[in-house]
Structure 1
Amino acid sequence: MNSQETPATQSAETSDRPAGTRSWLREHSELGVSVLLFAIGVLVLTDALTMEVDISQRGPIGPKTVPITVGVGLLLIALLLAVDVLRGGRGEAEGGEDIDLSEPSDWRTVLLLAGVFLGFAVLIGPLGFPVSGALLFWGAAFALGSRHYHRDPLIAAVLSLITYYVFDNLLGVPLPGGPLMGVL
């Protein structure tokens, strides 16, 4: 301790260190995205390399090709992003959005949407996709502010039936039809 340093100045110096660390982390917060991309890339590569492949059905491009390519791409993007952030690159600010970042979150809308999704998950088994999907579409429109009480349920029903038909008949993805599909 120098003769000019007092315990008060020494404690002020030590309290600045965490603030400096926090400041550095705040300025380089995009590194979190890089770490997340890297972890997902490692997970994808690990999964792809441990995949068991039936050799008899092997063509010129095996089933491991796409996951390995995606995993390597994720690792490469994570590395390039980390280098860019450490060199001083920053993501563009939210200039294109029509939101005021100083306003608080709209928790009513968030909770209504969460309730709609939870209701859909509970009702899809007993009511089937066409009915529960219509309730999902209508409930989401209502939660997001639409108040057309005659038009919205009709649009939701048509959208739900089209979605059911496309997935069940055209794409071959079976969805629960529910009691109304026996009638239709």
Structure 2
Amino acid sequence: MTTGVEPARRSWWSEHAELGVAALLAVVGVLVAVDTVAEGTLSAGSDSDPIGPGVVPLVLSAALVVLAALLTVDVLRGGHGEAEAGEDVDLETPMDLRTVGMLAGVLIATAALIPVLGWPIAGTVLFAGAAHALGSRRLEVDIAVAATVSLATWVVFDSLLGVDLPGGPLMGVLG
């Protein structure tokens, strides 16, 4: 017995969404190849490196383009990715644009603040802002944890690993 209600019909593009991934793989592969050729790294190497530095990027770009082609063929033949068995995300629920916008704003603010205030302060804004955007409402705890994580990552990268992260005003105090 039918209820008279037809199931929602999906568009051709939504049923073949993996073609977007294939296109992205192809574009990245082509860009890597073009950049490798433009850089002029295809010249022969030295006695210790006879193949030169341009071979690996070209092999990777070729692999990306081949994978894009194989994925395209598979999708057009009806193949598609399967959802994880334990997936508990309702794909019919619309995206929370407010949260996405807040996270984007936090990322943009962090990028703008790093050169001015340094990583420890900008990282605190990043971590505390992301926690707030994702639903935490314990501002004092979020800021304390964010400052601790941000300062710890700055110390580890700057002092122990030798990766120069800007310290900002804290450079004179801690550096």
TM range (shorter): 0.7 to 0.9
Please give the TM-score of this superposition, normalised by the length of structure 2.
Answer: 0.78
1:35 to 2:23 alignment: yes
Aligned partner of 1:98 in structure 2 is 88
Question: How far has the Cα of 1:78 moved from its partner?
Answer: 0.8
Could you say which residue in structure 1 is the equivalent of 2:4? Answer: none
Aligned residues: 163
Structure 2: runs of 5+ lacking an equivalent: 1-9
Using the size of structure 1 for normalisation, the TM-score is 0.75
Query: Of Structure 1 and Structure 2, which has the larger fraction of its residues in helix?
Result: 1
For residues 56 and 88 of structure 1, what CA distance do their matches in structure 2 show? 48
CA positional deviation for 1:69: 2.2
SS for the counterpart of 1:98 is: coil
Q: Which amino acid aligns with 1:28?
A: H
| Equivalence map 1:1-184=2 (5 Å) | 24-53=12-41, 59-60=49-50, 62-93=52-83, 96-184=86-174
Q: Which amino acid aligns with 1:70?
A: L
Query: Using the alignment, how far apart are the partners of 1:152 and 1:103 within structure 2?
Result: 28
* Aligned-partner residue type, residue 24 of structure 2: L
Change (3 A) 1:28 1:140: closer
Deviation, structure 1 residue 89? 1.0
Listed one character per residue, the Cα deviations across residues 52-98 of structure 1 (whole Å, up to 9, x for unaligned) are: 24856962553213311210110121121122122221121466433
- For residue 168 of structure 2, what is the amino acid of its counterpart? G
Q: Distance in 1 between matches of 2:115 and 2:104?
A: 18
Partners of 1:110 and 1:27 lie apart in 2 by: 25
Pairwise CA RMSD of aligned residues? 2.6
Kindly, what percent of the aligned residue pairs are identical? Answer: 56
Unaligned 5+ residue runs, structure 1? 1-21
